Amino acid sequence: MRGICLYLHIHQPFRYRGYSIFDVGANENYFFDPDYNSKQSNERIFKKVAEKSYYPTFSLLEKNLKQHPGFKFSLSITGTWLEQAEMWAPDLIERLKKMIKTGRVDLVAETYYHSMSYFYNLDEFKSQVEKQVSTFKRLFDYSPKVFRGTELTYNDSMGKVVESLGFKACLAEGWDKILGWRSPNFVYSAAGTKSLKLLLKNYRLSDDLAFRFSDKNWKDWPLTVEKYEAWLNDACLNGNVINLFMDFETFGEHQWKDTGIFEFMDRLIASWLSKFDNQFLTVSDRATESPAGELSFPWTVTWADTERDLSAWMGNKLQDEAMSNLYALRDRIYQSKNPELIEDFRKLTTSDHAYYMCTKYWNDGDVHAYFSAYDSPYDAFMYFLNILHSLEYRLSS
Amino acid sequence: MKILMLGWELPPHNSGGLGVACLNLSRALAKDGAEIDFVVPYEATHEDITFMRVLSASHLDPLFRYGIGAYDTKYIEDLIIPDVRIPDAISQDQISIRHIQKTYCDFVEKYLMEYRPDLVHAHDWLTFEAGVLAKKNFGIPLVAHVHATEFDRAGGNGGNPLVHEIEYEGLTLADKILAVSESTKRIIEEKYGIPGEKIDVVYNSLDETFLNSVYSLDSEEYLYLRQLKSAGFTIVSTVGRFTIQKGLSHLLRAAAKAVRKNPKLLFVFAGDGEERNELVARAAELGISKNVIFTGFIRGKQLRDIYELSDVFVMSSISEPFGLTALEAAHHGDVLILTKQSGVSEVIRSSLKYDFWDENKLANAILSVANSPALRETLKDGIRAEYQKISWGDVAQKCLNAYNNIKHKRV
């Protein structure tokens, strides 16, 4: 048997608007920019991405679920995405419900707010995971068994916490420095846990689609289904299931429609399933496999950048100050029992906010700048701090 | 390569960035082997300048205090040519500088009857007529270097039609135009209809005297400023001519907004100019006189002291083709807040940027820097790594490329 385990991550943050110090005390709207066309307009961005990516990709997935009884995949869907979809594209949620009902679409748990709360406040982390699990139960009548850390963060001590929350398996990056000579295609048991399993992203084959697919300077451009299938077959010689983990927006947003990514995926699914003994598996399917061995993540690994570390979120003083000051308000905010204040706090924990403050490559003007909703990391930081002042003001008034 | 460089000022007889840029550029070009004759409109010795010949177009005094600036024409009129007759059609400010320009052209004409440079490189409208003369009458290729247009000097208003005409003729006849920023290039394209491919953007770099001379702040001086700093004040400075182009009244209003939120802010306005009295009065009206210091015109070590003592440097210009002072402030470790309308904001990414009219955003930026050490440190680290990424050697190389392109085209 040879298998593909396709897992897609859907997320949108609630970007905060250009919140001025002069708004403090006068205006408590952080997340809804009255200017639809502004850089931070969540509604505009959601609708744009929906048109380019969500709708056509949903159609592609639905079509293949219908055509191929063997087609399966897994999704993680953040709470902040679900809230935005409920406001701006409720039909997407209905379509999700239908897909999940087929029993061939798996859901992966995570923090509702796509946060790095694990590293700041364990109580907050646990309650955000619980909120996500209960949201899945409410909307989709589904109880996830597999967990993923935000941006695929994982380390050994996180594994213990994840297991204690009742999950059977956790996703992580199949990073060479952790794996050494071992293959990412096997299931491993997580060091330090009783029986938590680790499913590792095959980043080479995943990134061929997610990042390189349309790169004309790539030696393998243009990528054909035949070529890619040959690579998958080669990889299956060392562990027979390939974990293809990527952002949902790979389809239509990172790789635009005109790159041919939709046709490619459509043909790949059909072609793969036409071969004898080829399968698709969900992450829950894989969680039942017996582990090939034990794997330890002594330090935190993510799926981001060439460093595969946390430096895009926790790498500079702006990020440290913004986030540590935010979490420092947590106890007082919960004590206030003010639901709006608590909700605002939790939306601010979303990791994208720290990402926009990343200065790693800022001087060279690179991709981080491209994906930012702000003019600069400094602007992102200034608005965030102004919002913290506003939270303080609300707490004391 | 023999270059006839047409300029209006060289340090120390300069009133602004033009002289500094001309000196540094010429030095770097000479290092690359260019032979330069540099014409100035006044007579003075430039003992420090050994890498080129400085030629005086007239016997006029360089006016130590103000320089013969295009911007301070009334002083020239008062001090140098008091007996000029003023025709009705031309304004008073015009006549004096026109007279000097005429003398300047006469000198260039005489020079070209004796010498044959490979190329004429003219800086700003002040010398464009002489450049055009060299091109028209002697067939020498012309490079027009734009440090500022009349549209910049007029602060977005119309400006002087005669100056527009001179700029238009110079830019049209030039074989190549060098602009100090993309925004200056855009103005030249849009306002003068010059095709973009004729214009190269050549950013300025930091004045090399900042790098090469030893500087230290005297520990016995500026005791009051130091006292305020240790009491937790943030010092915000701005440097330049006090003209409408610099957008200082916006800065002052933003300062008032910021001081209302955080009284521990001290604003240092270093410079002088026609708006000075108005600014002083405005500060009083806004009730922030205690938070604003007007230093008067300063240069040299005193200027560097201000940069050194400041935490934040604001360039509030409505229109600023480049803005060398921002690089100088960066060299002294200041955090930069720049208008998006300044050329230097195209080069420096580790800075806070705003539109010149957006007083709330400026006030917000000042308050954020004052209140957050993390923001201050991150910006400082960033700018330390990038403010010198363009050197005068790079600038000279771009000029030489432009020169060579002209040469090839003509062959």
One-letter amino acid identity for B115? Y
In a domain, A325, yes or no: yes
Q: pLDDT-based confidence at B87, cuts 50/70/90?
A: very low
Range of the domain at B250: 214-386
Q: pLDDT-based confidence at B144, cuts 50/70/90?
A: very high
The predicted model gives A118-147 an average pLDDT of 98
Comparing alpha-carbon positions, the chain A residue that sits nearest to B257 is: A22
In a domain, A70, yes or no: yes
Statement: residue B352 has pLDDT above 90: yes
Q: Are residues B60 and B198 in the same domain?
A: yes
Interface test mutation site (partner A, options B261, B375, B389, max chain A beta carbons within 10 A): B375
Q: Which of B360, B371, B377 sits opposite A317 (nearest CB)?
A: B377
* Domain edge (last residue) among A230, A261, A295: A295
Q: Are residues A243 and A391 in the same domain?
A: no
- Helical residues (DSSP H) of chain A, grouped into ranges: 42-49, 55-67, 79-88, 90-101, 122-140, 156-164, 176-179, 203-210, 225-235, 261-274, 283-286, 311-314, 317-328, 330-336, 339-348, 351-355, 367-370, 377-396
| Cis ω for the linkage preceding A222 (within 30 of 0) | yes
Helix (H) / strand (E) containing B179 = strand B176-179
* Global pTM value: 0.84
Q: Are residues A132 and A168 in the same domain?
A: yes
Interface test mutation site (partner B, options A20, A324, A363, max chain B beta carbons within 10 A): A363
Q: Are residues A235 and A136 in the same domain?
A: yes
**Alpha-carbon Rg of chain B, whole angstroms?**
21
Q: Are residues B373 and B403 in the same domain?
A: no
- pLDDT score, position B78: 42
Q: Are residues A270 and A319 in the same domain?
A: no
Say if the Cβ atoms of B374 and A317 lie within 8 Å.
Answer: yes
- pLDDT score, position B90: 47
Interface test mutation site (partner A, options B348, B364, B377, B380, max chain A beta carbons within 10 A): B364
One-letter amino acid identity for B311? D
The predicted model gives A343-354 an average pLDDT of 98
A385: closest CA of chain B, how far (Å): 8
Q: How much of chain A, in percent, has pLDDT values that exceed 90?
A: 92
Catalytic residue among A124, A151, A173, A249: A151
Which residues in B lie closer than 8 A to residue A359 (C-beta atoms)?
Answer: 350, 378, 382
The per-residue b/e assignment along A208-244, b for 16 or more CB within 10 angstroms, e otherwise, is bbbebbbeeeeeeeebebeebbeebeebbeebebbbb
In 3D space, the residue among A6, A73, A54, A9 whose CA is nearest the CA of residue A304 turns out to be: A9
Q: Which of A320, A365, A382 sits opposite B368 (nearest CB)?
A: A382
* Domain edge (last residue) among A262, A295, A328: A295
Statement: residue B72 has pLDDT above 60: no
In a domain, A43, yes or no: yes
Range of the domain at A390: 311-396
The predicted model gives A252-269 an average pLDDT of 96
Contact B143, B400 (CB under 8 A): no
Tens digit of pLDDT for each residue in B269-311? 999 888 999 999 899 899 998 899 999 888 889 999 999 999 9
Contact B315, B342 (CB under 8 A): yes
Write the CB contacts of A371 (distance below 8 Å, at least 6 apart in sequence). Answer: A355
Say if the Cβ atoms of A378 and B379 lie within 8 Å.
Answer: yes
Q: Are residues B18 and B115 in the same domain?
A: yes
Helix A42-49 / helix A79-88 crossing angle, nearest 10 deg: 90
Which residues in B lie closer than 8 A to residue A365 (C-beta atoms)?
Answer: 349
- pLDDT score, position B81: 34
Statement: residue A272 has pLDDT above 90: yes
Tens digit of pLDDT for each residue in A273-319? 999 999 999 999 999 999 999 999 999 999 998 899 999 999 999 99
Q: Are residues A221 and A368 in the same domain?
A: no
Q: How much of chain A, in percent, has pLDDT values that exceed 70?
A: 98
- pLDDT score, position B71: 45
Say if the Cβ atoms of A363 and B386 lie within 8 Å.
Answer: yes
Q: Rounded to whole angstroms, what are the CA distances from B287 to A21, A178, A191, B260?
A: 21, 63, 66, 10
* Cα–chain center distance at A253: 15
Q: Which of B373, B377, B385 sits opposite A363 (nearest CB)?
A: B385
The backbone torsions φ and ψ at residue B56, rounded to the nearest 5 degrees and listed phi first, read -100, 130
Say if the Cβ atoms of A382 and B375 lie within 8 Å.
Answer: yes
A345: closest CA of chain B, how far (Å): 20
Say if the Cβ atoms of B364 and A21 lie within 8 Å.
Answer: yes
Q: Are residues B6 and B84 in the same domain?
A: yes
Residue of B159 and B110 predicted with greater confidence? B110
B245: closest CA of chain A, how far (Å): 25
Q: Are residues B307 and B382 in the same domain?
A: yes
Contact A33, A373 (CB under 8 A): no
Q: Are residues B177 and B277 in the same domain?
A: no
Q: What is the mean pLDDT of chain B?
A: 88
Comparing alpha-carbon positions, the chain A residue that sits nearest to B349 is: A363
- pLDDT score, position B273: 87
Token reading at B199: 């214009």
- pLDDT score, position B73: 43
In this structure, how many other beta carbons lie within 10 angstroms of the beta carbon of residue A389? 18
A79: closest CA of chain B, how far (Å): 31
Token reading at B304: 């560097």
Q: Are residues B243 and B360 in the same domain?
A: yes
- pLDDT score, position A363: 64
**Number of domains making up chain B:** 2
Q: Are residues A183 and A322 in the same domain?
A: no
A341: closest CA of chain B, how far (Å): 23
The CATH number of residue A158's host domain is 3.20.110.20
Q: Are residues A290 and A340 in the same domain?
A: no
B386: closest CA of chain A, how far (Å): 7
A314: closest CA of chain B, how far (Å): 13
In a domain, A355, yes or no: yes
The predicted model gives A378-382 an average pLDDT of 93
Say if the Cβ atoms of A381 and B367 lie within 8 Å.
Answer: no
Q: Are residues B228 and B375 in the same domain?
A: yes
A30: closest CA of chain B, how far (Å): 16
Q: Are residues B381 and B395 in the same domain?
A: no
In a domain, A302, yes or no: no
For the CA atoms of A55, A60, A63, A65, what is the dihedral angle to 10 degrees? -110
Q: pLDDT-based confidence at B12, cuts 50/70/90?
A: confident
Q: Are residues B176 and B221 in the same domain?
A: no
Say if the Cβ atoms of B352 and A382 lie within 8 Å.
Answer: yes
Write the CB contacts of A209 (distance below 8 Å, at least 6 apart in sequence). Answer: A223, A228, A244, A246, A250, A255, A261, A264
Comparing alpha-carbon positions, the chain B residue that sits nearest to A375 is: B353
Tens digit of pLDDT for each residue in A91-106? 999 999 999 999 999 9
Which residues in B lie closer than 8 A to residue A362 (C-beta atoms)?
Answer: 349-350, 382
Window from A131-135, A186-190, B221-225, B349-353 with minimum mean pLDDT: B221-225
The CATH number of residue B308's host domain is 3.40.50.2000
Interface check for B404 against chain A (CB to CB < 8 A): the answer is: no
In a domain, A306, yes or no: no
Window from A311-325, A354-368, B341-355 with minimum mean pLDDT: A354-368
- pLDDT score, position B310: 97
Interface test mutation site (partner B, options A323, A382, A386, max chain B beta carbons within 10 A): A382
Which residues in B lie closer than 8 A to residue A375 (C-beta atoms)?
Answer: 353
* Domain edge (last residue) among A249, A265, A295: A295
Q: Are residues A225 and A347 in the same domain?
A: no
- pLDDT score, position B85: 38
Say if the Cβ atoms of B375 and A378 lie within 8 Å.
Answer: yes
In 3D space, the residue among A137, A318, A156, A148 whose CA is nearest the CA of residue A247 turns out to be: A148
The predicted model gives B107-135 an average pLDDT of 95
In a domain, A208, yes or no: yes
- How far, in Å, CA of A391 to CA of A30, rounded? 11
Statement: residue B408 has pLDDT above 90: no
Comparing alpha-carbon positions, the chain B residue that sits nearest to A322 is: B374
**Number of domains making up chain A:** 2
The predicted model gives A57-82 an average pLDDT of 98
3-state secondary structure of B283: helix
- pLDDT score, position A2: 95
- pLDDT score, position B98: 78
Which residues in A lie closer than 8 A to residue B257 (C-beta atoms)?
Answer: 22
Q: Which B residues in the span 246-285 are in contact with A, Cβ-Cβ below 8 Å?
A: 257, 261
Q: pLDDT-based confidence at B86, cuts 50/70/90?
A: very low
Q: Which of A362, A375, A385 sits opposite B350 (nearest CB)?
A: A362
Q: Are residues A383 and A265 in the same domain?
A: no
Which residues in A lie closer than 8 A to residue B351 (C-beta atoms)?
Answer: 378
Interface check for B375 against chain A (CB to CB < 8 A): the answer is: yes
Sign of the CA dihedral running A229, A235, A239, A243: negative
Which residues in B lie closer than 8 A to residue A363 (C-beta atoms)?
Answer: 349-350, 382, 385-386
The CA-based angle A18-A19-A25, given to 5 degrees, is: 165
Averaging pLDDT over each range in A75-79, B82-86, B111-115, which range is the top one? A75-79
Contact A321, A216 (CB under 8 A): no
Say if the Cβ atoms of B349 and A365 lie within 8 Å.
Answer: yes
Q: pLDDT-based confidence at A365, cuts 50/70/90?
A: low
Whether the complex's predicted ipTM is more than 0.85 is answered with no
The predicted model gives A31-52 an average pLDDT of 96
Residues of chain A in Cβ contact (below 8 Å) with chain B: 20-22, 316-318, 320-322, 359, 362-363, 365, 375-379, 381-382, 385-386
Q: Rounded to whole angstroms, what are the CA distances from A84 to A47, A92, A356?
A: 10, 11, 20
Beta bridge partners of residue A74, listed in sequence order = A7, A106
Q: Are residues A286 and A317 in the same domain?
A: no
Which residues in A lie closer than 8 A to residue B386 (C-beta atoms)?
Answer: 363
Contact A108, A128 (CB under 8 A): no
Say if the Cβ atoms of B352 and A385 lie within 8 Å.
Answer: no
A228: left (phi over 0), alpha (psi -120 to 50) or beta: alpha
- pLDDT score, position B84: 34
Beta bridge partners of residue B56, listed in sequence order = B40
Q: What is the mean pLDDT of chain A?
A: 95
Q: Are residues B198 and B270 in the same domain?
A: no
Q: Are residues A392 and A255 in the same domain?
A: no
Write the CB contacts of B177 (distance below 8 Å, at least 6 apart in sequence). Answer: B143, B144, B145, B146, B171, B188, B194, B198, B199, B200
Q: Are residues A215 and A289 in the same domain?
A: yes
Which residues in B lie closer than 8 A to residue A316 (C-beta atoms)?
Answer: 378
Q: pLDDT-based confidence at A359, cuts 50/70/90?
A: confident
Strands A197-201 and A188-190, by their bridges, are antiparallel
In a domain, A300, yes or no: no
Q: Which of B349, B367, B374 sits opposite A321 (nearest CB)?
A: B374
Interface check for B355 against chain A (CB to CB < 8 A): the answer is: no
- pLDDT score, position B11: 87
A151 is catalytic: yes
Write the CB contacts of B285 (distance below 8 Å, at least 6 apart in sequence). Answer: none
Q: Are residues B79 and B45 in the same domain?
A: yes
Which residues in A lie closer than 8 A to residue B349 (C-beta atoms)?
Answer: 362-363, 365, 376
Q: Which B residues in the span 384-403 are in contact with A, Cβ-Cβ below 8 Å?
A: 385-386
Tens digit of pLDDT for each residue in A199-216? 999 999 999 999 999 999
Helix A122-140 / helix A156-164 crossing angle, nearest 10 deg: 50
Chains A & B: contacts with CB separation below 8 Å? 66
